[in-house]
Amino acid sequence: MSSPSSFADLYNFPAWSKDHFTLNSDGEVAVLNPLDPSAKPVSLYGIVEELHSRGIASPVLVRVEQFLKNSIDGLHSAFGQAIESAQYKNRYQGVFPIKVNQQSKVISNIVEMGRPYHYGLEAGSKPELVVALSQPLSSQALIVCNGVKDAEFVELAMMSNRVGFNTIIVIESPKELDTIIEVHKRTGMKPRLGVRIKLTHRIQGKWQESSGDRSTFGLNTLQLINIVDKLRAHDLLDCLVLQHSHLGSQIPDIIDVRYAVSEACRYFSVLKSEGVPLQYLDIGGGLGVDYSGDKMASETSINYTIPEYATNVVETIKYALDEAGISHPILVSESGRAIVARSSILITNVIEDTRYDADEKPVVSAEDHHLLRDLADVERYIEENRLQECLNDAQYYRDEMRALFRRGHIGIRETARGEEIYLYLMARIKRSAMTSENLQVLEQLDQNVDIYHCNFSLFQSLPDSWAIDQVHPVMPLQRLTEEPTRKAILADITCDSDGKLENFIQEDGLKFALPVHRLTEDPYYIGIFYVGAYQETLGDLHNLFGDTNVAVIRLTDDGFDLVHDTEGDTIAEVLSYVEYDHKDCLENFRATLDRAVSDKRINGAERRAFAGFYRECMNGYTYYEL
Ligand SMILES: Cc1ncc(COP(=O)(O)O)c(C=O)c1O
């Protein structure tokens, strides 16, 4: 038998779990404290069971506080070290883009953990600016305002400077400058400004379209020069203190970072020589996450570490600006994904399975239809060199039998037995193909994997998986000392055929099906990792499944503390999002009950019980409840 860790290896676990998860001796995935490597690992399975006992049911999103702190500390120490070793003569001062995870607890944690570093926030909209201004940021911390801005947005940003925030309005388009000038003239407040430059370098990866000439944001060279001239003409050039560019998220190849940063430096030098008093060089987001742990430039991985990213950025800027004889600016980045992705894990329970093979062969008698007997007879010649023939024959007899059923020549019970025989044959053929390593046959059977029906909504909790085929590490949380003998795709509980996961990170690359254990009476939990970035806020209410329960945990010396929990949406809440009044619903249902009483279909006691039950459902969780 393989060693326990080898079953976790199937999921490429050692590669992507580093310093954050391990496998305990019970074969369960356990959480490590990255800030205290000597601390005892805490079983995720145990965490879920404990949460259940406290009434926090799955699906549940578990956030680990120490993971967040570790990534904030890690980013700052990477830039700190890169600055020191390159002898860069200024500092790094990052901002967290609120859009990447807007949840209030996440933002307040980030602000608190980032205070020693004067970590700021990036706001891409008015509501996000409203959030930023409600936070106890350090007075040095930046608030970088990106996105399309109306006069109200601009005025709020200018006002925030008057009360002590360090807010910078990044000009995204020529029209925006007109708005800024108008607000300045009307209110007499002076803005602090940035310019967003559209770099020509195009990155590879899923966010290719946000880079290059055709990207939707930022100023081209002509627009930039016009803006500088206009600011000068309005005596506002001294307000322009920041240069910004953003290449797109999840940049797979470090070489693209180098090219883009050197292009940004060229603009920086030119603007400085035009007399623009720039103090900050903001390189945007894009720092990727190694979802698969493969350490290569691909859609699921990146070919660099955070310290390597910081070194590349700092060195490129230093050399480019030294050559141009320009003093080093404060270096800003807007990394979102790399800060929060790892800190959340979505945990779902498998409700049931649909299998495409069978253990037992139904009995066939001489009275059965000959197609059924022919089908059953295939078992007789399942042998190494006839597997393809068996597969062909089984397929043919099954399809013929279905055709007869459609035409009414064979009954439903016989057909059902035929289907079961077919599934039994598939299991037998597969076993034989595995023993004889017949890859051709195995490949054909590979599509016949199980479906594990899991308690979550892809559209609510993993929207990027649906929209842009984002792949997250996924694996069972328990029984990893036992060989997973089944393979499955994971279906969610929405009534939508797109609501499924069928692309999984494994040790030998991305695979269509996930190795899983046969279900037993005990709950079977599956963890979906690295879901802290973008997923929580892009999610929608498909089938009216709402937010899941959330548990924020702090790892302790001998387990964990539940620091905070947020109950997932109730049915009444999601109904209100789509403009239903739950009281109206209740009233309408009661009227139906009253008619049923009048029609003598139910009695008074039943009416009371039914109305109570409806109200109870209304206040319940939107997901499958055990
Ligand atoms: C302007 C801007 N800054 C920062 C980010 C965050 O990028 P990432 O999550 O890749 O760090 C984004 C997201 O695409 C963005 O549009």
Q: Which of 70, 125, 79 is nearest to 333 (CA)?
A: 79
Ligand 1 atom at shortest distance from the alpha carbon of 100: 9
Q: How far apart are CA 612 and CA 366, in angstroms?
A: 56
pTM: 0.93
Q: Is the CB of residue 249 below 6 angstroms from any atom belonging to ligand 1?
A: yes
Residue ID of nearest Cα to ligand 1 atom 12: 285
Q: Which of 261, 264, 274 is nearest to 313 (CA)?
A: 261
Ligand 1 atom at shortest distance from the alpha carbon of 146: 1
Q: What is the pLDDT of residue 212?
A: 65
3-state SS class at 2: coil
Instruction: Count the Cβ atoms, other than its own, within 10 Å of residue 250.
Output: 24
In testing the pocket of ligand 1, which one of 334, 340, 531, 537 has its CB within 8 Å of the most ligand atoms? 334
Q: Is the CB of residue 287 below 6 angstroms from any atom belonging to ligand 1?
A: yes
Q: At what angle do helices 387-407 and 439-446 cross, to 10 degrees?
A: 30
Which residues does 351 contact at the CB level (< 8 Å), separation at least 6? 453, 454, 455, 493, 624
Q: What is the pLDDT of residue 621?
A: 95
Beta bridge partners of 143: 121, 167
Q: Is the CB of residue 194 below 6 angstroms from any atom belonging to ligand 1?
A: no
Ligand 1 atom at shortest distance from the alpha carbon of 244: 1
Q: Is the CB of residue 146 below 6 angstroms from any atom belonging to ligand 1?
A: yes
Beta bridge partners of 330: 280
3-state SS class at 282: strand
Could you tell me if 302 and 289 are in contact, meaning their C-beta atoms sit under 8 angstroms apart?
yes
* Cβ-count burial 91-128 (b if 16+ within 10 Å, e if not): ebbbbbbbbbbebebbbebbbebbeebbbbbbbbbbeb
Instruction: Count the Cβ atoms, other than its own, within 10 Å of residue 52.
Output: 15
In testing the pocket of ligand 1, which one of 95, 98, 100 has its CB within 8 Å of the most ligand atoms? 100
Could you tell me if 573 and 546 are in contact, meaning their C-beta atoms sit under 8 angstroms apart?
yes
Q: What is the pLDDT of residue 4?
A: 47
Q: Which two tokens stand for residue 286?
A: 């894009």
Which residues does 605 contact at the CB level (< 8 Å), separation at least 6? none
Q: How far apart are CA 474 and CA 494, in angstroms?
A: 19
In the predicted model, residues of the chain with pLDDT beneath 50 are 1-4
Could you tell me whether strands 474-476 and 166-171 are parallel, antiparallel, or unpaired per DSSP bridges? Answer: unpaired
Q: What is the pLDDT of residue 106?
A: 95
Q: Is the CB of residue 192 below 6 angstroms from any atom belonging to ligand 1?
A: no
Please name the residue ranges forming H helices in 436-560.
Answer: 439-446, 458-461, 463-467, 535-538
Ligand 1 atom at shortest distance from the alpha carbon of 533: 9
Beta bridge partners of 506: 509
Q: Is the CB of residue 205 below 6 angstroms from any atom belonging to ligand 1?
A: no
Supply the DSSP symbol for 25. T
Q: How far apart are CA 28 and CA 338, in angstroms?
A: 26
Q: Which of 320, 336, 335 is nearest to 79 (CA)?
A: 335
3-state SS class at 385: helix
Q: Which of 62, 68, 30 is nearest to 46 (CA)?
A: 30
Q: What is the pLDDT of residue 3?
A: 47
Residue ID of nearest Cα to ligand 1 atom 5: 285
Q: How far apart are CA 304 and CA 319, in angstroms?
A: 20
Q: What is the pLDDT of residue 571?
A: 94
Backbone angles phi, psi at 504, to 5 degrees: -125, 140
Residue ID of nearest Cα to ligand 1 atom 6: 285
Q: How far apart are CA 404 and CA 422, in angstroms?
A: 16
- Measured in Å, residue 574 CA sits from the centre of ligand 1 at 29
- Measured in Å, residue 210 CA sits from the centre of ligand 1 at 10
Q: How far apart are CA 107 and CA 136, in angstroms?
A: 11
Ligand 1 atom at shortest distance from the alpha carbon of 335: 11
Q: Is the CB of residue 211 below 6 angstroms from any atom belonging to ligand 1?
A: no
Ligand 1 atom at shortest distance from the alpha carbon of 534: 9
Q: Which of 221, 223, 267 is nearest to 242 (CA)?
A: 267
| H or E element that contains 416 | helix 412-435
Q: Which two tokens stand for residue 397?
A: 């007899």
Q: Is the CB of residue 245 below 6 angstroms from any atom belonging to ligand 1?
A: no
Q: Is the CB of residue 539 below 6 angstroms from any atom belonging to ligand 1?
A: no
| H or E element that contains 174 | helix 174-187
Which strands sit side by side in the sheet containing 240-244, from one edge to the other? 95-97, 120-123, 142-145, 166-171, 193-196, 240-244, 280-282, 330-332
- Measured in Å, residue 93 CA sits from the centre of ligand 1 at 16
Q: Is the CB of residue 122 below 6 angstroms from any atom belonging to ligand 1?
A: yes
Q: How far apart are CA 256 and CA 286, in angstroms?
A: 10
In testing the pocket of ligand 1, which one of 99, 145, 470 has its CB within 8 Å of the most ligand atoms? 99
Supply the DSSP symbol for 209. G
Q: What is the pLDDT of residue 496?
A: 84
Could you tell me if 563 and 554 are in contact, meaning their C-beta atoms sit under 8 angstroms apart?
yes
Q: How far apart are CA 62 and CA 470, in angstroms?
A: 20
Q: Is the CB of residue 28 below 6 angstroms from any atom belonging to ligand 1?
A: no
Q: Is the CB of residue 126 below 6 angstroms from any atom belonging to ligand 1?
A: no
Could you tell me if 459 and 539 are in contact, meaning their C-beta atoms sit under 8 angstroms apart?
yes
Q: How far apart are CA 25 and CA 12, in angstroms?
A: 18
Q: How far apart are CA 516 and CA 450, in angstroms?
A: 9
Q: Is the CB of residue 100 below 6 angstroms from any atom belonging to ligand 1?
A: yes
Q: How far apart are CA 548 and CA 431, in angstroms?
A: 40
Q: What is the pLDDT of residue 1?
A: 37
Could you tell me whether strands 549-556 and 42-43 are parallel, antiparallel, or unpaired per DSSP bridges? Answer: unpaired
- Measured in Å, residue 100 CA sits from the centre of ligand 1 at 8
